[in-house]
Structure 1
Amino acid sequence: YGREWKNECSRWDLFPLVLAVWALRPEGINWPDFETDDPAKQGRKSFRLEKITAANGLSHEHAHDAASDVMATIELARLIRQRQPRLWNWALHNRCKNAVAAALGSGRPCVWIDISAGQQRGFIRVVMPVAVNPANKNEFLVWDLSRDPNELLGMKSEDICRRAFGRTQDLQEGEKRLALRALKINTFPFVCDNIRVLTPDVCSRFGLDISRIIANGEALGRIRSEIEGPVIDSRSCKEEPREPQDCDVALYEGFISPEDQTMMERLHGDSAEDFADDVSRGAIHFDDPRLEELFFRFRARNYPETLSDGEKAEWREHCRERLIDGKGPGLTLERYFEEIDSIAEADELAQQEGRMPEAVFEKRRTVLDALYDWGDAVANRVDEFEEEDAQ
């Protein structure tokens, strides 16, 4: 949060914009063909970063290398800004969720670039909202106006849930999936409330019937009050109660309060001596129960000398439950060693069959040996717990 949102920082996913440029304003950029022997996929375009950069003469020396991919993405962004400046500027200033929510709340049909719509449709959906998910204000439940919304009239929430958000195998014979979609406004979608971006040429390319879309939008406006309740209920009926997550993996289970953030900053600024003194005086405490447990584990992992006898016994039991019994996230020691053995066997076979160079094989084996040694050290420490408990 501090890196991506604090001090008016923000993020932007460029991929929806790339799809939008190809679908709406493709001029000035070379769009590489998708290489395939499947006749059904002939004529499709490839949107892989390395293909687009190569087709447009952009530098991308090491595809899938993180730093190289970042620089190539920047070059692609620069190309879009140069060749389609109006679309670039519009997308840049309308990328955040407040702008997306305003577009969806305009009462007008909105153009949404959605990869699940498929390339044959130009990844284009023209949608209008039916409801906002009360359990998640960032999720708008929208109707694809290529279909008649009167399908929803009189439908039970359970049936809407199954046909809109359920698995394909749960559809009954002869049933079609509903054109109801969940649009998350905080994922930087491309959403525009001006359907004039769908020029006659765009509509012709992708078979869009604007008059039908407008008529379906008007129909949705007339029946929205009747279908809003069942649609909202359909979303909640799919959600199953979740078990509370272990604090080690509960990163997204809620924001940290300013008071707890201040305490964390103080904690990380302490020297080892000051830290031990703060612990002995009980000067470090958190309101968030996740942080209280994380603080205990932090001490056990990094400053075990600050633990009381009771806390040491609690920590030993926690380690046994994780590493031996398999309680909580992560691998047991047994599973950990099995994973290493499986990788080692696959590497050996690949090396014997000539699919892995000797130098690569040796480097990987060195890493696997180090991982095995580390696991042995952990296993030995767990064995020592038994002796400590017996004392």
Structure 2
Amino acid sequence: MPSTTMRKAYSTRRKPSFYWYDTETTGLRSSYDRIIQFAGQRTDLNLKPLGEPLNTYVQLPPEIVPTAESFQITKIRPQTLIEQGIPEYELFSKLRQELSGANTCIIGYNNISFDDNFIRFGMYRNLLPPYEHEHKRGNNRLDFLSIVRLTGALRPDGLEWPVVDGVPSFALGNLAAANDIAADNAHDALADVHMTLELARKIKAAQPKLWNYAYTLRKQGTAKELLDPETRQAILHVSPKYGNARYSLAPVLPITRHPEMFNRVIVVDLESNIDLLFTTSSDELASLLFERANSDEKIEPEERLNINVVAINQSPMVAVLKTLLPENVKRLNIDLNRIERNMRRVLEATELPRKLRAIFGAREQDMQPKIAEEALYDDFISDNDRIACANFWQELKNGRSWTSAHFEDPRLRELYARLKTKIVPEKLTKTEVQDYHQFVRQQLVRTDRNLIDMQEKTKELLKQEPGTEETAELEEFYDYLQQLATQYDVERTD
């Protein structure tokens, strides 16, 4: 058997590869909701599969109230999770190995904005390193949805681009169907991985230069250089914030670094209403950026001011302005003269960087009390606790069913106690059983995701299409909620 040093040296020489993955979840909130299906496939850089895919359902803990829509969309039945799902701790133990292979580029369809956060929270909940798989041993990330948007905006030839209600659609199923890719089982994690891979192969074949450029953006060097406010140069940036009508592409000017997050840069969309930068007070501008933008108020495109915060460590799709071809300018209705005028105005406003830093620095953070499972971003985990977590998992791998562990961080002490209920429920004391039962009941009656409210919502959905085949999942979901209500004595109190 090779020594530890030899194994490490071999591992770091592993050829670069992609790990394509997708998740199906109980809802959209990564801090609360859970993965109920995971699928992943490693490929080489030519997108040829390496080994067999990982595809598994995941058991649902009783403290989580899923959304009715999640089961309606995925068509996964609660009974399937009970009969075929693996425990969450087992999933993340597997993913620790799957995602941590050296020189892995982790990639999916909207993974950086969505799935990656579920992976982070899942690792954290199960006392595993939440970030290491993303950056250690030569690893990095890309978001294939951003590559698709960049392709549609700048180099669309070779693919069909579906339009829904007069606007380009980047829904994976729509793109697959438009490009003769089997899309029969959308919202199944493994089917979505296969669709994503097929679409990637088509883009790589049709636009190899763009593909190769996008691949370089997995490392921070290019993005860091282009997003440097000191360059005082406009660039192109892809973000859903700019809207599908523009293929999510905007010419932006980096203004200043974020006052609190060193790896983020504040940029302004040079085709948006920049007059508001100069005609509104700091308080009014903050309201425009944070309150109105998150409200249901309709703001016309010509009235909107787009200021974006770009994270350099999230592999943003950025490019120099000269990447725009004449046909891009015409098709996307880009006014180069307006961009030049607006850039000069912004650069001449020497107080603007300070104004924006003050606005973003003063933004109130979410200070709502959280349970330990939701508190990943509250603080970093200390070196001592990282060692304690590693020792805990090593003991499990060595065959010890449970071992005492001591943590400095109160979050980890709570997670450790609740992890015991999942791994060795037969070893719980009577007090521990009672504590967990009380915890579950408290979670089921939360105001932000309430069991009884979800039952009522499910009833309403069932009334809309009674007796149809599509309601079978909802009916079983309602029964599952009723079983939880009975088991944990949850009743409507109003």
TM-score band, normalised by the shorter chain?
0.7 to 0.9
Q: 1:53·1:72 contact (CA, 8 Å) conserved in 2? A: yes
- Distance in 1 between the 2:452 and 2:272 partners? 53
Cα gap change, 1:327 to 1:250, in 2 (>3 Å): farther
* Cα deviation, residue 238, structure 1: 3.3
- Distance in 1 between the 2:428 and 2:184 partners? 51
Moved more, 228-237 or 113-122: 113-122
Is the partner of 1:141 in helix, strand or coil? strand
* Cα deviation, residue 96, structure 1: 4.1
1:74 pairs with 2:197: yes
- 2:409 corresponds in structure 1 to 288
Deviation track 1:193-214 (CA, whole Å, cap 9, x = no partner) reads x211112221122222223322
Q: How is 1:37-186 mapped onto 2 (pairs within 5 angstroms)?
A: 41=166, 44-105=167-228, 106-146=231-271, 151-153=276-278, 155-167=280-292, 176-186=303-313
Moved more, 70-79 or 102-111: 102-111
Identity %: 25
- Distance in 2 between the 1:132 and 1:177 partners? 22
Q: 2:217·2:316 contact (CA, 8 Å) conserved in 1? A: no
Deviation track 1:71-113 (CA, whole Å, cap 9, x = no partner) reads 1101111111111111111111024444322211143211112
Which structure dedicates a bigger proportion of its chain to strand?
A: 2
1:356 pairs with 2:469: yes
Unaligned runs of 5+ in 2: 1-130
Q: How many residue pairs are counted as aligned between the two chains?
A: 354
- Distance in 2 between the 1:49 and 1:300 partners? 38
- 1:4 corresponds in structure 2 to 134
Deviation track 1:185-237 (CA, whole Å, cap 9, x = no partner) reads 34433111x2111122211222222233223323322323x111211111233
- 1:386 corresponds in structure 2 to none
* Cα deviation, residue 126, structure 1: 0.9
* Cα deviation, residue 316, structure 1: 4.3
1:15 pairs with 2:150: no
- Distance in 2 between the 1:81 and 1:235 partners? 38
- Distance in 2 between the 1:119 and 1:33 partners? 10
Q: Normalization by structure 1: what TM-score? A: 0.75
Cα gap change, 1:376 to 1:130, in 2 (>3 Å): same
* Cα deviation, residue 21, structure 1: 1.3
- 2:157 corresponds in structure 1 to 27
* Cα deviation, residue 327, structure 1: 8.0
Deviation track 1:173-193 (CA, whole Å, cap 9, x = no partner) reads 99944343333334433111x
Is the partner of 1:5 in helix, strand or coil? helix
- Distance in 2 between the 1:57 and 1:317 partners? 54
Which structure dedicates a bigger proportion of its chain to helix?
A: 1
- 1:336 corresponds in structure 2 to 451
- Distance in 2 between the 1:196 and 1:261 partners? 46
Select the structure of larger CA radius of gyration.
1
Q: 1:162·1:170 contact (CA, 8 Å) conserved in 2? A: no
Q: How is 1:237-316 mapped onto 2 (pairs within 5 angstroms)?
A: 237-240=362-365, 242-270=367-395, 279=404, 284-299=405-420, 302=424, 312=431, 316=434
Q: 2:239·2:249 contact (CA, 8 Å) conserved in 1? A: yes
Unaligned runs of 5+ in 1: 381-391
Q: 2:372·2:414 contact (CA, 8 Å) conserved in 1? A: yes
